[in-house]
Amino acid sequence: MSKVYFISGLGADWRMFQFLTLPAYLSQHYVEWIMPLYQDEPLQEYVQRLRAQITTPNPILVGLSFGGVAAIELAKTMKVRKVILISSLATRYALPWYYRSAGKTRLHRWMPIRLMKSLYPLAPPVFGAHTKPEKKLLKEVILETNEKYLRWSLGQLLAWRQQEVLPGLVQMHGTADLVLPLHDRTDIIKIQGGEHLMVMHRAEEISAILSKILEDTMPNSKFTVTLANGEQVDLTLATILKSNNLYPFGQHNYAIYESPEGIFVKGLNKGEREIMLTHFELVDETSARNYSHPYIREDE
């Protein structure tokens, strides 16, 4: 079964996807940005190194913002099952003219990074971060982004020369995106009122759409778990009653499932970082519906 690889936006990481809830049978991995070898390392060379993190054949790539640009470039270097963009660009023509004009001044080269980062109080309404957790995360991403990486990535975005839409590309874009305004095509999945960070503030809606796309892409995929006694339970069509899917994975992760047959299963993580759930057991309905997980992630 294909693994789903998530590539976050410029300087961001897995935290941007933490509000999504996807089918448990999907094998998920978060690609981590690496430092460019030098200031003008071409994106096409950079993704060859990023590719080392994609370890399964026929992957599905989900790219957010600049991560979508990287996903498209990765797809040129390997056979992929699907590329899905969220709040991103399909071609260079979707980049607003005022970004291209700023690029000609090489503003990203000489503008002091401290000055750029000092503008973060203005970022929430532009990016669409509304709640306290969303604003806190956006602030962290802006302040934590490495200067060398930031200047490099801005330069690569401004210099991107993709002329045509990648065959089979799936794209979701908000109609109220102020960072990368919608460059409309008939095949774009348009989210009315969606802003640049709709992956957070419209997470339930994006999760439902993305889950349907992934299920259609892998129609024969099944989620069958093995209990401690060796018995297997098919949870492909199960409902998740409650869960914690925050990455990096660990003991804070759990899920409570109810199968169409009325079977209740509790999934736990025994300390594995790359797999969300490692242990499954049957529970009765009362225990399932009233379950309170004893662990939280340290930074929660």
31-51 average pLDDT score: 95
Q: In degrees rounded to 5, what are phi and psi of residue 94?
A: -85, -10
Is residue 1 very low, low, confident or very high in pLDDT (cuts 50, 70, 90)?
A: low
Instruction: Examine the domain organization and report whether 30 and 179 are in the same domain.
Output: yes
pLDDT at residue 286 tops 50: yes
Share of the chain above pLDDT 70, in %: 93
Give a yes or no: residue 62 inside a domain. Answer: yes
Instruction: Examine the domain organization and report whether 248 and 134 are in the same domain.
Output: no
Is residue 196 very low, low, confident or very high in pLDDT (cuts 50, 70, 90)?
A: very high
Residue 112 vs residue 230, higher pLDDT: 230
Per-residue model confidence (pLDDT) at position 275: 78
Would you call 151 helix, strand, or coil by DSSP?
helix
Chosen domain end from 201, 217, 233: 217
Residue 205 vs residue 270, higher pLDDT: 205
Q: CATH number for the domain including 95?
A: 3.40.50.1820
Give a yes or no: residue 298 inside a domain. Answer: no
Range of the domain at 250: 224-289
Per-residue model confidence (pLDDT) at position 103: 67
Token pair for 209: 């759409």
Separation of alpha carbons 84 and 139, rounded Å = 26
Beta sheet of 239-244, edge-to-edge order: 239-244, 254-258, 264-268, 279-283
Q: How many residues does the chain have?
A: 300
Is residue 300 very low, low, confident or very high in pLDDT (cuts 50, 70, 90)?
A: very low
What's the number of domains the chain is made of? 2
Instruction: Examine the domain organization and report whether 80 and 202 are in the same domain.
Output: yes
Instruction: Examine the domain organization and report whether 185 and 240 are in the same domain.
Output: no
Per-residue model confidence (pLDDT) at position 283: 95
pLDDT at residue 24 tops 80: no
165-190 average pLDDT score: 96
- Residue reference for tokens 């093995």: 226
